[in-house]
Amino acid sequence: MNYSKNELLGFYEQLVQGRRYEEKILGYVNEGKLQGFFHLGIGQEAAQVGVVNALGHNDYLVPTHRFHPGLANKLDLKTLTAELLGRSNGYNKGKAFTFHISSKKERLLPVNGMLGAGIPEAVGYAWALKMDEKDAAVVCVLGDGTTSEGNVHEGMNIAAILDAPIVFFIENNGWAISNPVSEQTKIEDLSTRAIAYGMPGVTIDGNDVITVKETLEKALAEARKGRPSIVEAKTYRWRGHFEGDPGFYRDPQEHEEAMKDDCIKRLEKILYGQGATDKELAEIEVRVQQRIDEAFAYAEKSPLPTVEETLDYDQVYATNLGGDLL
Amino acid sequence: MREIAFSQAIMEAQMEEMQRDSNVFLIGEDVAKMGSAFGQSAGLYEKFGSKRVFNMPVAESGYVNFGVGAAMAGKRPIVEMQFADFIVLAFDAVGNQGPKQRYMSGGELSVPMTVRAPQGAGFGAAAQHSQCVEAWFMNFPGLKIVMPSTPYDGKGLLKTAIRDNDTVLFLEHKALLSIKGEVPEEEYTIPLGEGKIVRDGTDVTIIALQAQVYQALEAAEELAKEGISAEIIDPRTLIPLDKKLIGESVKKTGRVVIVHEAPKRGGFGSEISAVIAENFFDSLRAPIIRIGAANIPLPFGMPEQYCLPNKNSIVQSVKELLK
């Protein structure tokens, strides 16, 4: 193992923070306190935390709508939660919610509501970084369902042609809403599509946070030299597509079986092997929960957008030099 | 003053803005060595090289979205559609992505992208290479639409569009790209949102878009022979729209004919008509008449003309109003 016990505890804390954050969201959804649709990534924490930890200081990330565990570790928890609750002091003044969240400061590019459209956008951003001679790359996350979009093909092909500094990270959780991967494509590993674009592709165990981090680090190093690639991380979606989805299309036995491969339990096992104690892990739980509770309390006290802030046309148009835009 | 073709005016606008700002770049199908399908980018590849002018694969959605991403990173892309009809393949990028990122990010991001698209009939090229597409995009908050009719306006407005910090759809008319018009050597720009009185008149206002401006001019000549004085207005930009100029003309004449090449139903004429009815109803002395293409997928070849508005349909409509 290349990591010290403390480093591993650090990853563990992030995995736990990702899961507890979404469990908190789930509680809010169940209490009817949240508007909009919520797509939870419980079970996929290792894939997301692995990505977040692989990013270099100058690198950018394009998350998906199912990326709260990653966001809860990349962003400021209070500002993130304010955005989640649609407050004026959120990252995007409450206009994005986690469905469209972005932040220049945090090098986070917008989550896209139109599956696939964000892929060529990420390529455009990556190309611009290269033109400006920045030593940086973009990690563009997409789900297995999105890989069927035409924009994904177009975007990956353009990335290859332009030698764009980008890594396409496919978080394959097995399901596009109710459609299993086996019914979305004839291929076994989605990363094999890379052959079609003349770039490397690799499929890894998405429930192993260390493997994800290390694979992404290597892919990013290559990307920064203008060599894009695809990394597919296989994981599993524990919840329904959105909160409220009864998920009756899944075989209950298979579902139970898949959930046994829990990324947190896996790391726990390694940690015990390294001499970690129950007390250490319990302390992490307390710390994380406290942080999350504080963030939600902060967000709840934060102001909702006013009518004036909502109908602010300066937020719609950057340049208004005359004529009637309305 | 020197006269140049519309396509050269487009090329010059792009060239000057690329010289002025190193963040401006041009992509599209066959924009590099070929200089665009109608010569609108002739010489730009040779002048600026392959980092600023480069071809994209046949992937309209992919490369307009590429432009959106590059624009968010601070670049100022000019993205060319080879034919405006193809824009349906990039509908999401042009309407749903570029114009919305600013609001959705709480004002932090913007997409200063210009999408250039040659549109319109005149080549008998059938129903998928001949349409005027402006009305398709009227419902996207955040988007601006420019639709010039002369080389002078085309150059000045394109320069402004490229400098604008929002997503601008710049529609050039294929049948006008070869016409020549006065364009000064000196640099100039034209602001978005300023319409133009093409011809002064007192009896009727003809609001004409793009190629139909020329039909309206011919119609006005003919009407003048019969003692009817027609005023012609070219809005030049649809969003923002110069409602003031339209209002002043309506107040003067009290009669309005709106003519465009796109089909009448749901066309931009409907919007102008509604604006007039809402704001200047008291000035109207007769019902508004809209003229557009027939509700027919434009046919191949010669019969195309049977579907389009022209001088005769404008003259006839004006006479109806004055009955």
The CATH number given to whatever domain includes residue B285 is 3.40.50.920
Residues A197-252 pLDDT 10s: 999 999 999 999 999 999 999 999 999 999 999 999 999 999 999 988 988 999 99
Residues 55-94 of A with CB under 8 A from B: 90-94
pLDDT for the residue numbered A246: 86
Q: Could you tell me what percent of chain B has a pLDDT over 90?
A: 100
Is B173 an annotated catalytic residue? no
Residue B234 covered by a domain: yes
The answer to whether position A58 is within a domain reads yes
pLDDT at A1 over 70: no
**pLDDT at residue A139 in the model:** 98
Domain, as residue range, for B164: 3-182
Of A122, A154, A312, the CB nearest to B59: A154
Same structural domain for residues B94 and B140? yes
Residues of A in contact with B161 (CB under 8 A): none
Per-residue pLDDT tens over the stretch B203-228: 999 999 999 999 999 999 999 999 99
Q: What's the whole-number average pLDDT of chain A? A: 96
DSSP alpha helix (H) spans, chain B: 6-20, 44-48, 60-72, 91, 101-104, 151-163, 212-225, 243-253, 268-279, 311-322
Q: With bands split at pLDDT 50, 70 and 90, how would you rate the model's confidence at A35?
A: confident
Q: Answer whether residue B307 is part of any domain.
A: yes
Query: Does B108 contact A314 at a Cβ distance shorter than 8 Å?
Result: no
**A 161-200: CB under 8 A from B:** 161
Based on the fold, state whether residues B200 and B170 are members of the same structural domain. Answer: no
Residues B169 and B207 in one domain: no
| A151 assigned to some structural domain | yes
Distance CA B11, CA B13 (A): 6
Residues B101 and B126 grouped into a single domain: yes
Position B191 in a domain: no
The boundaries of the domain holding residue A127 are: 5-311
Q: How many domains does chain B have?
A: 2
pLDDT in tens, B273-298: 999 999 999 999 999 999 999 999 99
Tell whether B245 is covered by a domain. yes
Q: Is the ipTM of this complex over 0.90?
A: yes
Decide the pairing of beta strands B237-239 and B289-293.
unpaired
Which of B149, B182, B215 is at the close of a domain? B182
Write the CATH number for B116. 3.40.50.970
Distance in Å, alpha carbon of A196 to nearest chain B alpha carbon: 15
For residue B144, is it within any domain? yes
> Is residue A321 pLDDT above 70, yes or no?
no
Q: Are residues B219 and B147 in the same domain?
A: no
Give the confidence band of A323 by pLDDT, cuts at 50, 70, 90. low
Whether B116 and B229 map to the same domain: the answer is no
Say if CB A61 and CB A141 are below 8 A apart: yes
Q: SS3 helix, strand, coil % of chain B, rounded to 5?
A: 40, 20, 40
Q: Mean pLDDT score of chain B, rounded to an integer? A: 97
Name the domain count of chain A.
1
The verdict on B299 and B202 lying in the same domain is yes
B104 shares its domain with B235 = no
3 state SS of A61: strand
Answer yes or no: are the C-beta atoms of B253 and B202 closer than 8 Å.
yes
Structural domain contains residue B268? yes
Same domain as B300, residue B154: no
Same domain, B19 and B109: yes
Residue of A nearest to B245 (CA): A323
B186 band by pLDDT with thresholds 50, 70 and 90: very high
> Scanning every residue of chain A, which has its alpha carbon at the shortest distance from the alpha carbon of B145?
A325
Rounded to a whole number of angstroms, the distance from the CA of A113 to the nearest CA of chain B is 9
Same domain, B62 and B160: yes
Within a domain: B247: yes
Residues B55 and B178 in one domain: yes
